[in-house]
Amino acid sequence: MEGFPMASGPLNGVKVLEFTQIIAGPMSCQLLADLGADVIKVEPPGGEPWRLNAQFIPLESKTYAGLNRGKKSLAVDVGSPKVQEAIHRLVKEMDVIVINYRPDVAKRLRIDYDTLAGIKPDLVYMDNTAFGREGPWANRPGYDIVVQAASGLMSSVGKVDKDGTPLVPPAFADTTTAYSMALGVCAALFYKAMTGKGQRVETSLLVNALTTHMSAFMSLPAADGDTREMFLKALEDARASGMPYADFLELRNEMMRRQAGGNVYYRAFLTSNGAIAIGALSKGLRDKVRAALNIEHNRDEPDYNPLDPAQIEADKQLRA
């Protein structure tokens, strides 16, 4: 965005050419600009779609401004052969390329890794896609909402309207991917500083969405026992039966509570004078919660079993 001073920082002097739009890519390059990089954002003459979202002046929107701070803008038609030749000349002066096009689109526009690395072999090329570069979904487009649905992240948030329709959650896949992209660029630049070699760094919205599931996405027999397979089987049977989405979410959430022992010390509660949030993940903090509420609970006793039916009921009463 012209008129804004460039930041100084550890990436001062690093030149970045950005071919991204919407959230993940622009946010990652904004992070690089915040660290001092000189970022040139390439977008079509009419502006990328986020410019056109609720414009407050022609071709400017709050959503765009919030993700493109500290950049320069280059408005060109990348589909033009003459523009492609100009970009190839510009690439010779760049350190980093950041792109979030589908693999087939990047190749058609002659801004794929093989083409640009042939022009500048030590280039760091950050390549983000929706579903990865390989596999049956490699060339599929996908925004955050689609990837959240495909990855199960949307059901983890678990919000529905009064009719049971899933509500659109915040752009978790996009924002986690943005930080992953910026980290990947910094790591590749560090490697280049040590070896003189560039490389392509890959990530995807799907990979980052799956990462947010953390241990829930893992299979660890020593810890899971038979409960994980029972959990997955129950969900598969519910889906096969055509269970309504809202009911499916409630089943999933109840089974998750059972697996995690309900975790009554890490949740929000509705009280007589408003909602409160409690986060007590150590015995010392849980002791303080029990003392403040003047209650007794056996969460930290050696015989505590979150899967015991009596314990499940006791934890449910405590949550109530």
Question: Active site residue: 38, 95, 127, 174, which one?
Answer: 174
Cβ count near 225 (within 10 Å): 11
- Structure tokens given for 30: 């904004």
Q: Please, which residues have CB within 8 angstroms of residue 135's CB and are 6 or more apart in sequence?
A: none
C-alpha closest to that of 16 among 1, 37, 44, 43: 37
SS3 98: strand
DSSP 164: S
The verdict on whether 224 is a catalytic residue reads no
Q: Measured between alpha carbons, how far is 103 from 241 in angstroms, rounded to an integer?
A: 38
Q: Which residues pair with 269 in a beta bridge?
A: 276
Rounded to whole angstroms, the Cα distance separating 315 from 263 reads 8
If you count them, how many residues does the chain have? Answer: 320
- The catalytic site residues sit at 174
